[in-house]
């Protein structure tokens, strides 16, 4: 029996995007077995090949964002390259792109034309503002989508300008929702036999995570503000200093859990009576309560504090760095970090596939490929172009 690479094994995805928003969608689909053929410009390829921290001249972003993908070169701005793209799409289930709205149409690769070639095609379009609306034509990066979607306003300390998370959150959320939409469209195609367009806007992907922010304002006149490391009224739930100059996160805002925290602190009276005995009271006296807990955690090294808290059933943990993750036994036991072989770097560790499926898990097969590494396999094998045809396309810069 042939081993399957995941539940999407047998589906073919053409990825024509660059940077993170579109390619992260491709990464997620590839993690669960889809054949992802990444189409890159012959002149340098995806800029992610050169972005971020590098080692030995290799971008450390590329092995991750392009894992499980095949790379072919194709100049989509040329007539010959567009003809090659149509042939690729005719054999595919999904096309992922994150160009500005109208770009595919200008190249003669709009959905109406592609659907005539392949009625079952699912076109996944990832942009800053979506395919419609007054802002559709604007350039949109993840940072702007984070601002418009609401997460920037509520991130950071209250006495400072809005902050950002140290990752490309908006782009990754858009890629995640795009992969989710792709699977929904594939499921629907099973009954209808037809494809459709998945229209992902970065700001909407961010906005989707903003909980009940809108009705809070609409019906209660409450505008969420920046609150640093706490959520107002939710206490205790914060970072607390330890004797060895570390910090631990403790989340004990539920009554029963707070009781267990107080027992671990040898201060059971705090939960029994007084201002901290109820959820509302703890919220109203949040800063005083955090001060009391911090005074206790400062007397213990992080490991001792966590040992007590974990034994008492109180959610608590270190604030992890990459070094902590690589050394942690739980990461190791669950194989949360996978180690792959890179032709230049040797062993490269990265996050494994998530979530874990019990009977049809995804898996990592290879790291990000060289530019055009799969030209012969895809153009010669899949499309059946002979050597002369491929050389002719190369000579005019189409591939």
Q: What is the pLDDT along the chain (399 residues), one digit of tens a residue?
A: 467 899 999 999 999 989 999 999 999 999 999 999 999 999 999 999 999 899 999 999 999 999 999 999 999 999 999 999 999 999 999 999 999 999 999 999 999 999 999 999 999 999 999 999 999 999 999 999 999 999 999 999 999 999 999 999 999 999 999 999 999 999 999 999 999 999 999 999 999 999 999 999 999 999 999 999 999 999 999 999 999 999 999 999 999 999 999 999 999 999 999 999 999 999 999 999 999 999 999 999 999 999 999 999 999 999 999 999 999 999 999 999 999 999 999 999 999 999 999 999 999 999 999 999 999 999 999 999 999 999 999 999 999
**Whole-number Å distance between alpha carbons of 154 and 210:** 10
Q: Enumerate long-range contacts of 239-242, CB under 8 Å, 24 or more apart.
A: 239/319, 240/290, 240/293, 240/294, 240/297, 241/294, 241/297, 241/298, 242/297, 242/298, 242/300, 242/301, 242/302, 242/305
Write down the catalytic residue from 171, 288, 324, 386.
171
User: Is there a catalytic annotation at residue 80?
Assistant: no
Average pLDDT of the residues of the chain:
97
Residues 6+ apart with CB under 8 A from 226: 153, 154, 155, 156, 157, 158, 160, 162, 163
pLDDT the model gives residue 224: 95
Residue-range domains of the chain with CATH: 12-209+357-395 (3.40.50.10540), 237-320 (3.30.1540.10)
pLDDT at 4: 86
| Backbone φ, ψ for residue 209 (5° rounding) | -95, 5
């Amino acid at each position: 029996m042939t081993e399957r690479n995941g539940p999407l094994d047998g589906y073919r995805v053409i990825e024509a995007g660059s940077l993170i928003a579109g390619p992260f969608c491709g990464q997620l689909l590839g993690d669960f077995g889809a054949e992802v053929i990444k189409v890159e410009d012959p002149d340098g390829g995806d800029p992610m090949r050169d972005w971020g921290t590098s080692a030995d001249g290799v971008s450390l972003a590329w092995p991750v964002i392009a894992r499980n993908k095949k790379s072919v070169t194709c100049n989509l701005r040329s007539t010959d390259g567009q003809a090659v793209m149509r042939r690729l799409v005719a054999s595919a289930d999904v096309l992922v792109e994150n160009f500005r709205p109208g770009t595919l149409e200008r190249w003669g690769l709009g959905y109406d034309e592609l659907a005539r070639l392949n009625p079952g095609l699912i076109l996944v379009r990832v942009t800053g503002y979506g395919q419609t609306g007054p802002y559709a034509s604007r350039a949109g990066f993840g940072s702007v989508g984070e601002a418009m979607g609401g997460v920037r306003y509520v991130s950071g300390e209250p006495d400072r300008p809005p902050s950002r998370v140290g990752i490309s959150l908006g782009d990754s959320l858009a890629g995640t929702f795009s992969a989710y939409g792709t699977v929904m469209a594939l499921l629907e195609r099973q009954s209808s036999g037809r494809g459709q367009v998945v229209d992902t806007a970065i700001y909407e992907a961010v906005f989707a995570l903003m909980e009940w922010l809108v009705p809070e304002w609409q019906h209660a006149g409450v505008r969420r503000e920046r609150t640093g490391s706490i959520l107002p009224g939710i206490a205790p739930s914060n970072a607390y200093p330890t004797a060895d100059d570390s910090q631990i996160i403790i989340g004990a805002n539920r009554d029963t859990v707070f009781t267990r925290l107080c027992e671990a602190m040898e201060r059971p009276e705090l939960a029994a009576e007084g201002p901290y005995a109820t959820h509302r009271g703890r919220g109203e006296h949040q800063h005083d309560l955090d001060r009391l807990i911090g005074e206790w955690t400062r007397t213990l090294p992080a490991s001792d504090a966590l040992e007590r808290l974990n034994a008492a059933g109180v959610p608590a943990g270190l604030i992890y760095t990459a070094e902590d993750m690589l050394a942690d036994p739980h990461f190791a036991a669950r194989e949360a970090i996978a180690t792959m072989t890179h032709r230049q770097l040797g062993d490269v560790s990265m996050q494994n596939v998530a979530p874990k499926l019990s009977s049809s898990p995804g898996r990592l097969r290879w790291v990000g490929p060289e530019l055009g590494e799969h030209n012969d396999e895809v153009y010669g094998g899949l499309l059946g172009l002979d050597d002369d045809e491929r050389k002719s396309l190369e000579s005019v810069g189409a591939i």
